[in-house]
Amino acid sequence: MAAHPWDELGPDHFLAQGSLKWTTHKDATPAFVAEMDFPVADVIVEALRDSVTAQRFGYLPEHLAQTLSTTVQGFLEQEFGWQVPESRIYPVADVLVAYDAVLQELVAPGAPIIVPTPAYMPFLSLTPLRGHPVVEVPFLQDGNRWVFDLERIEKEFLAGAGMMILCNPHNPLGLVHTQQELLAVAEVVDRVGGLVFSDEIHSPLVFDGHHIPYASLNDQTKNHSVTAISASKAWNLAGLKCAQLIVTSDDHHQALLPKKFLITHGASTPGVEASIAAYRDGGPWLAEAKNYIRHNSALATTRLQAAFGESSFTPPQGTYIGWLDLRDVNPGHYESVADFLLHEARVALTDGAKCGVAGRGHVRIILATTTPILDGLLTSLIAATSREKKH
Ligand SMILES: Cc1ncc(COP(=O)(O)O)c(C=O)c1O
């Protein structure tokens, strides 16, 4: 790829900006939290500038909540051919708030939650805080494709599990589930009368295949799932606190209505304005960001496969998250390979064990940084591990 202006942004710029990503480990290159190191889209900056000029910092006004619903409705229809009534698009602070609300309002107290693993870390750590045990169901390998363990999922539902988490596109495996894979899940969930929390936060970030909203598949999935989406990953707005809970089932809508004020209360006014701009006018910026990420992903794939073997790393089909198998690397006296890399390579990655037992010996790498920073990170990682290979 020809040089891109984003290539010029270096660590000093990001340190001065002071994000969580760049201030947590001051002397290590960070790639552990799902934040992008790209300048935010101009259309979003303009929307926020308007909001600052008008000092619109009060509670979310009804007209903005309404515009968000209309805009999200248009986005879902245009991008995924999915028609959702505006009244079923609830503004919420973030996807974890949406998850928490679903857990508390739609799942029987104490019922276990099925989490296909490796998984986005908070699903494992937060779920027990609400009194729901987590049942980790590791993905199975079918050739070089990760697939759901449907038998085990069915068994856990029959044993009393209250809900399953579906993360599509999948963090951290980068999977974009096919229609056939989703229908197979739906068949099981329908048979056992289960519930699905479909986390589609990464849905605008698909590189290979196309995103199919789970609830859009058929009447069964519409009625046995709730969906969460947000502009926060694709347009890098996580701190602005705005996501959307999409409640497609009439029964779920009725059950949530008494608590709707509480559930939607945290969506911030500037966050809603930024999200409207992102969904409505953020397409060209997103296309550029995806191109840039695609190039980074190819670079990581070439370098990591050369260093650790072909099966160690597959480019994500969706998300900007890479999943690297380093089970052949001896972490020595460090407690994990991620800890080893933090100290010996000065790169900060997520320890795969935080994504579940199935993730031990793996690391999660955020690819949405500048190409020179990613290249430097890969060089340090490969150099440190080549000194410590088990075989
Ligand atoms: C799959 C997934 N779900 C949820 C979240 C958290 O989203 P939010 O900040 O909206 O709670 C993330 C953040 O990286 C994520 O990757």
pLDDT greater than 80 at residue 19: yes
Could you tell me the distance, in angstroms and rounded to a whole number, from the CA of residue 153 to the centre of ligand 1? 23
For CATH 3.90.1150.10, list the domain ranges present in the chain. 5-40+283-385
pTM higher than 0.85: yes
- The stretch 143-157 carries a mean pLDDT of 96
pLDDT greater than 60 at residue 98: yes
pLDDT greater than 50 at residue 99: yes
The CATH-assigned architecture of domain 44-281 is 3-Layer(aba) Sandwich (3.40)
Are 318 and 209 a contacting pair, CB within 8 Å? yes
What percent of the chain lies above the pLDDT cut of 70? 99
Supply φ then ψ for residue 205, to 5 degrees.
-105, 65
Report which secondary-structure segment, H or E, holds 166. strand 163-167
Return the ligand 1 atom nearest residue 232 CA. Answer: 10
pLDDT greater than 80 at residue 255: yes
Burial of 240 per CB tally in 10 Å (0-12, 13-18, 19+): buried
Are 144 and 180 a contacting pair, CB within 8 Å? no
Could you tell me the distance, in angstroms and rounded to a whole number, from the CA of residue 123 to the centre of ligand 1? 10
Q: Looking at 115-236, list the stretches that DSSP marks H as alpha helix, in order from N- to C-terminal side.
A: 121-126, 150-158, 179-192, 219-224
Could you tell me the distance, in angstroms and rounded to a whole number, from the CA of residue 125 to the centre of ligand 1? 13
Q: Give the residues across from 89 on adjacent strands.
A: 246
The ligand 1 site (C-beta within 6 Å) comprises 34, 94-96, 120, 167, 171, 199, 201, 230, 232, 238, 243
CATH 3.40.50.300 assigned to domain 5-40+283-385? The reply is: no
pLDDT greater than 90 at residue 383: yes
What percent of the chain lies above the pLDDT cut of 90? 96
| Probe residue for ligand 1, chosen from 120, 170, 350 as the CB with the greatest number of ligand atoms within 8 Å | 120
Return the ligand 1 atom nearest residue 171 CA. Answer: 1
| Probe residue for ligand 1, chosen from 233, 275, 319 as the CB with the greatest number of ligand atoms within 8 Å | 233
Mean pLDDT of the chain: 97
For CATH 3.40.640.10, list the domain ranges present in the chain. 44-281
Please state the separation of Cα 56 from the chain's center in Å.
Answer: 29
pLDDT, position 388: 65
pLDDT in tens, 32-59: 999 999 999 999 999 999 999 999 999 9
pLDDT in tens, 325-364: 999 999 999 999 999 999 999 999 999 999 999 999 999 9
pLDDT greater than 50 at residue 391: no
pLDDT category at 369 given cuts 50, 70, 90 is very high
Are 79 and 204 a contacting pair, CB within 8 Å? yes
pLDDT category at 389 given cuts 50, 70, 90 is low
pLDDT category at 144 given cuts 50, 70, 90 is confident
pLDDT greater than 70 at residue 285: yes
Return the ligand 1 atom nearest residue 93 CA. Answer: 10
Could you tell me the distance, in angstroms and rounded to a whole number, from the CA of residue 64 to the centre of ligand 1? 23
pLDDT greater than 50 at residue 282: yes
Could you tell me the distance, in angstroms and rounded to a whole number, from the CA of residue 35 to the centre of ligand 1? 10
pLDDT greater than 70 at residue 74: yes
- Closest by CA to 228, choosing from 250, 249, 198, 251, is 198
